[in-house]
Structure 1
Amino acid sequence: MSIPFINRELSWLEFNQRVLNEALRGDLPLLERVKFLAITASNLDEFFQVRVGSLMLLRRSGRKNPDPSGLTPVQQLTEIRKRMQRMIEDQYKLFTTVLCPALQEAGIRLVDSKNLSPAQANKVAEAFHDSISPLLTPLAVVSGEEPPLVPALQLIVACRIADSETGAIRHALIPIPDGLPRRVSVSDGDGVSFVLIEDVVARHASELFPGEDVEATACFRVTRNGDIAVQEDDAADLAGEMEEVLAARKLSDTVRLELPASLPRDLAKVIQEVCGAPSEGTYRVAGPLALSGFMDLAFTPGFDNLRDEDWPSQPSPDIEPGDSIFDAVGRRDVLLHHPYESFEPVMRFIEEAADDPQVVSIKQVLYRTAKQSRIIDALIRAAENGKAVTVLVELKARFDEARNLLRAEELQRAGAQIVYGVKGLKTHAKICLVVRREDGRLRRYVHLGTGNYNESTARLYTDISLLTCRPEYGADASLFFNAVTGRSKLLRFQRLVPAPTAMKPRLLDLIASEAERARQGEPARIYAKVNSLQDPDIIAALYQASKAGVEINLNVRGICCLKTGDARHSKHIRVVSVIDRYLEHARIFYFHHGGDPEIFIASADWMGRNLDRRVELMVPIEDSRARRRLLRILESFFQDNTQASKILPDGSSERLKPAAGEKKFRAQEHFFKEARRSAKARDHERAMTFEPHRPK
């Protein structure tokens, strides 16, 4: 029997609308609004590459099977285009009629290249000749010949060119390299003034074609299918196969073509032919292309008054200043809530392990890392220091494949043992195991988390870290690494719950247990925080639990295929989504369990890809303080009445507002203030405590 199900792609677009709603808020600082608008555009780039690309492949293959919502690939593409047109119109209306005038008034001016003063024109010409022109490579478009390869997601200036003697017309394309800044300064000391690089290239394009006249120019941008998977069954060399996948993406089918609304018809025709763009994949926009490129504008120096107040990460009260991480974790489990609490202890855990002579081995899974990663540097140092270092580098982490290949090679040269993921699955678990010799015995220390080992995103994403030396967790960590590096089975775990073998059955059992308790008249509750909820089996189980009377509160940031408000299936289910200054990324699950709660953190969302096709870990939390804290974190999201939105039955959302007389509550602000209070209280306690020096 089919169950109510919201289409995954349309649900994701509604998530992006919630992000856009932040940019639309008049009460938000101006540069924060610019940032949220840029995020929506960046999100759409990936959506087209992956999700639309996948649907176009299905359409081409002739697949007509509907998804669980009942839509075929063709129907999904039609609905996506309709919804996308509305979103694009909202984006550009906001940018051109609201944000640009407000920025100009604040002293940040986007100058039209047609309206430059003589001094500004000289600056632009100088920048073009010195910093831009030497890096440009025009590509001729010759009728009857193979069209030039158009790079994906780059700004490209198309030119109509006339021979100055014969008047013959031809066309050429000028790709703008990614390494060039989007903004070219024309500031004169009063605020910040800039022109866009594509306008600079168009203004001076004639200098690239001596003896010819550039009659018309237009900027365009193409998005290609990024849903090209490695064929692991035939790949004797996974690294080499991955390099072929990266090359194939550059040549893959066009899934979106962005053109200016005022583009001349002849240029539009040439561009569409060169790109092989279908008419239904062509989008006309009334403003600059690639709004994601305006992200750096949000961080323009000298305009702090146009940004949110800083929320600096706080030190954990469980780690004494100057303490070794091993000493702190040896006393008790350490739970960290990032970015309110610093990610520094996680990096120190690995850095100390690299240099500690008592550490024997380090094993770690790396999915996404920072560009300049202290963690990878520490692992290289550990290997060079003679420690046994094993790193599973997931080469199939989409869009991070090239970086992961490069860093894996560095680790291997340093002497680390490298494993390129698991055949047929992505390894998405967040785990690091350090084995240390203490008093003649080996002791295992483990980090388990919900987020990547990436110190850059750790300042922007909310995540949970657990540092522990509980023997059963260490034993499970060893079994886990034996499984992913030595082809043994993910079995016999004492505490950790792995996917794809055990996590989904365990979750279904936990949900069913709550349902049975409700049928017996006992209190039954499920609270869960995930990024996405799409797995049909999990959704069906939640519907059954709701029918039994289980109180279910779900905090789902993005995709939510569960249909709320259905009197038969979801009467007792409430779903909220919180969009705020930090990207909600932690996964936390709570099951009331007859008053003896079971609480977990996890690397996995409740999606089929995570539960059935990835190596993931769900981690039970046993420390009583940590358990209480995680429950408070979950409850806080359901109290939020300023940044939370209620997910409606059609998949759209409605922002929650305080009721009459109700105090405003913002979960992320609450977490920051709580972390600051805890750090201050710990500092005060230390200041009031006298510790004598004792002779050794």
Structure 2
Amino acid sequence: MDLPYVNRELSWLEFNQRVLNEALRADLPLLERVKFLAITASNLDEFFQVRVGGLILMRRRGRKRPDPAGMTPVQQITAIRRRVQRMLADQGKLLTGELLPALEEKGIMLLKIGDLSPSQADQAATYFHSSVGPLLTPLAVDSEDEPPHIPGLQLTVACKLIDDETNTTRYALIPIPDSLGRRVPVDTDDDTSAFVLIEDLVAAHCSSLFPGETVDATGWFRLTRNGDITVQDDDGGDLAGEMEDVLAARKLADTVRLELPIPLSRDLSRMIEKVCGASTSEIYRIAAPLGISGFMDLAFIPGYDQLRDPDWPAQSSPDIPPTESVFDAISRRDLLLHHPYESFEPVMRMLDEASNDPDVLSIKQVLYRTAKNSRIIDALIRAAENGKNVTVLVELKARFDEARNLVRAEELQRAGVQIVYGVKGLKTHAKICMIVRREAGHLRRYVHLGTGNYNESTARLYTDISLLTCRPEYGADASMFFNAVTGRSKLLRFQRLVPAPTAMKPRLLSLIAEEAERARQGEPARITAKVNSLQDPDIIAALYDASAAGVKIRLNIRGICCLKTGNSKRAKNIEVVSIIDRYLEHSRIFHFHQGGDPVVFIASADWMGRNLERRVELMIPIEDSRLRNRLMKILDTFFKDNTQASRIKPDGTSEKIEPEPGQKKLRAQEYFFRQARRTARAREHERAMRFEPHLPPK
């Protein structure tokens, strides 16, 4: 039976292949290719921790129920291994056979310890003894004791040791702390940059850690532990304490992947496999440096800007003059920001202003993922210290950001901020901030709603949409939202905002069905949407039904797409494209034609079951016709991209979209940057030409 779904995990791997395809492009700057390659490896790390980890748990529990694509957990694990093996081979071949030789030609050289000149070898040895050795903690391997604990996603050097007196053999392991970095620079006689890898340095000089013994053999490995361990908060209790237990449990979780280098001696290999508890199906032997994600810092090596893309600085929004209060700009009309082409600065300025403004009485905000040294956190702390009523929902269940969020929550709490740790049984993924301000004897609510996190670092790397408004209906809905998530009331009776898990999925299904009915009546019917992932079976079934009815459906999906494209009756009117470029596509925008009276939304949610049914999310209608038209043009531009776009094929793989003969090239992200720069310069020129007289005080 031909099931109408693509397996979620295999679809994700094809997304990662699209990222790897960027690294394979000879026309891209060399260090950009290194960056894309490192991203693919980092993506795989998280994929194994979460998705493969979850499937292995299902297999161990005897789960045999197939997914919507008809694959059992065992079948998925087998298919994943087969696909990953090919991907790892492509990664290794690219790094060792193409990128490293090309980098050497440009003066960036990876050296082996054995290749160093005498002076370089002395320098490396000195560095080891002064800056590396003191941070290492050898772990003995004793067959009669419990195996030592090995940190996940860290390189570990394995040593075979022979006692100089007794001639007996034993083994030891040396985990390499992440703080040491991957590259160890060594001096050269010219302007080139040379380095050795940290694992090579440790293996070459680890004998000093074992006096009275001879290091007979060394090798290194890297294991991945199951990260699919989450807090069970349905019964309430101390969520922060339970989250700390989850973080501790992850450190001791079962192995889901063991990476071993080729070559590696058989006795060291057997010892490592036993210590890690890895089965044959979890072992990946790799003929390239392990942990390619660690090469990310190489992409930012100083002094080689010519090997990187030219900078695209974020532009100021033409609607928010830098000398004007953000509140004054919002009070004139709704504002839309397209990040990172337009700066995230107005959002941070709004919070900075609010923290010091005597007329601001209250700030309420959801934080999911924040930057390391967050200005937003600083502004919230300052606001509380200045006597504002500040309430922050900190989502402790944001996977792999739990520890940071715990620390940030404690900082905020010490400053007097009212902290709420998410919603029981759900993740809070909505992006919303509300500021209540006293103006002319009345209270006015200013609201920021967006598709991305309150993270000024990722706001420079991810594409997202921000809406800033003081419309009373949106303010009233924002108040209801915060009352619901902090007071455990229901997400009901909203005027404009559409929340999940209560209303978003039914509303989307209704909108899709309405387009289908219009098509059946012979009316024009269209749906255009941009999401990161499409997996929800009900949404997919509704899209198939609409397509069969004649609705023209265009989907821009960066990652997972479980909908099966093709010329079959159910999908004949569905086009799916994916764009991979210098920025991570992260915005969610939905457009329904609605008989020529278009409805346009932005949202924090993807079209996945987890977002629509198990998370607190928000879908935001755009009522200002000027902003609505702008978003529709943004959506249209993605489907004109013939440089960075790929078309998703029926089997889940993809093919690059190329310009047709005589067709002009269009790269959507470059188009948006140039458009933002033109608009900012035009508004700056307009301001420079305008005379503003000083008026006497009233």
TM-score (norm 1): 0.99
Q: List per-residue Cα deviations over 1:563-594 (Å, max 9, x = no partner).
A: 00041210000000000000000000000000
Other-structure match for 2:20: 20
- 2:486 corresponds in structure 1 to 485
Counting matched residue pairs gives 696
Number of the residue aligned with 2:50: 50
**Structure-1 separation of matches of 2:503 and 2:452:** 21
Deviations 1:67-121 (A, max 9, x none): 0000000000000000000000000000000000000000000001111100110
- In structure 2, how many angstroms separate the alpha carbons of the residues matched to 1:540 and 1:174? 52
1:321 Cα shift?
2.2
Secondary structure at the counterpart of residue 285 of structure 2: strand
Alpha-carbon distance, 1:673 to partner: 0.3
What is the Cα deviation at residue 287 of structure 1?
1.3
Aligned to 1:293: 294
Partner of 2:72: 72
Letter in 1 for 2:366: V
For residue 330 of structure 2, what is the amino acid of its counterpart?
V
In structure 2, give the amino acid aligned to 1:108. Answer: I
Other-structure match for 2:422 = 421
Q: Is this contact kept in 2: 1:63–1:73, CA < 8 A?
A: yes
381-390 or 2-11, which deviates more: 2-11
Q: Write out aligned runs for 1:199-278 (5 A).
A: 199-278=200-279
- Look up the match of 2:122: 122
Distance between the aligned counterparts of 1:343 and 1:65, measured in 2?
A: 45
CA distance in 2, matches of 1:285, 1:343: 41
Q: Which residue of 2 aligns with 1:475?
A: 476
Q: Which residue of 1 aligns with 2:111?
A: 111
Distance 2:232 2:592 in 1: 39
Q: How many Å separate the matches in 2 of 1:39 and 1:233?
A: 35
Quote the offset at 1:54 in angstroms: 0.2
Unaligned runs of 5+ in 2: none
Structure 1 runs of 4+ aligned residues shifted over 3 Å read: none
| Structure 2 Cα separation of the partners of residues 622 and 462 of structure 1 | 22
Are residue 148 (structure 1) and residue 148 (structure 2) matched? yes
- Structure 2 letter corresponding to 1:32: E
- Is 1:304 the counterpart of 2:305? The answer is yes
Q: What is residue 355 of structure 1 aligned with on the other side?
A: 356
Describe the superposition over 1:515-562 as per-residue Cα deviations: whole angstroms up to 9, x where unpaired.
Answer: 000011111000000000000000000000000000000000000000
Deviations 1:1-29 (A, max 9, x none): 99500000000000000000000000000
RMSD over aligned Cα atoms: 0.8
- What secondary structure is seen at the aligned counterpart in 1 of 2:191? coil
Partner SS for 1:42: helix
> 1:575-594 maps to which residues of 2 (within 5 A)?
575-594=576-595
Q: Aligned partners of 1:171, 1:278: CA distance in 2, in Å? A: 20
SS of structure 2 residue aligned to 1:576: strand
> Identity, % of aligned pairs?
75
- How many Å separate the matches in 2 of 1:656 and 1:123? 50
Contact 1:3 1:540 in 2 (8 A): no
Shift of 1:145: 1.1
Distance 1:68 1:203 in 2: 51
Where does residue 34 of structure 2 map in the other structure?
Answer: 34
Q: Matched residues in 2 for 1:449 and 1:410: separation?
A: 25
Q: Please, what TM-score do these two structures have when normalized by structure 2? A: 0.99
1:510 corresponding residue in structure 2: 511
Q: For the residues of structure 1 that align with 2:518 and 2:529, how far apart are their CA atoms? A: 18
Give, as a single letter, the amino acid of the residue that structure 2 aligns with 1:186: V
Moved more, 498-507 or 682-691: 682-691
- SS for the counterpart of 1:233 is coil
CA distance in 2 between counterparts of 1:2 and 1:271 reads 43
Residue deviations 1:388-439 (CA, integer Å, cap 9, x gap) = 0000000000000000000000100100100000000000000000000001
Where does residue 195 of structure 1 map in the other structure? 196
Quote the offset at 1:234 in angstroms: 4.2
| In structure 2, distance between residues paired with 1:366 and 1:117 | 52
C-alpha deviation, 1:632, in angstroms: 0.6
Deviation of the 1:233 alpha carbon: 3.0
Preserved CA contact (<8 Å) 1:429 1:603? yes
By how many angstroms is 1:166 displaced?
A: 2.1
Q: Which residue of 1 aligns with 2:654?
A: 653
Task: Give the whole-Å Cα distance in 2 for the aligned partners of 1:235 and 1:54.
Answer: 24
Residues 235 and 241 of structure 1 are in contact (CA less than 8 Å); yes or no, is this contact kept in structure 2?
no
- 1:548 aligns with 549
Aligned residue for 1:220, secondary structure, equals strand
Amino acid across the alignment from 1:163: D
Amino acid paired to 1:564: T
Please give the secondary structure, in 2, of the residue aligned with 1:454. Answer: coil
SS of the residue 1:5 aligns to: coil
**Secondary structure at 1:31's aligned position in 2?**
helix
CA distance in 1, matches of 2:269, 2:352: 54
Counterpart in the other structure of 1:601: 602
Deviation, 1:190, is: 2.2
**Counterpart amino acid of 1:315?**
S
Q: For the residues of structure 2 that align with 1:233 and 1:630, how far apart are their CA atoms?
A: 39
Report the equivalent of 1:85.
Answer: 85
Q: Distance in 1 between matches of 2:408 and 2:166?
A: 54
Counterpart code for 1:182: R
State the distance in 1 between where 2:290 and 2:638 align.
36
Match of 2:99 in 1: 99
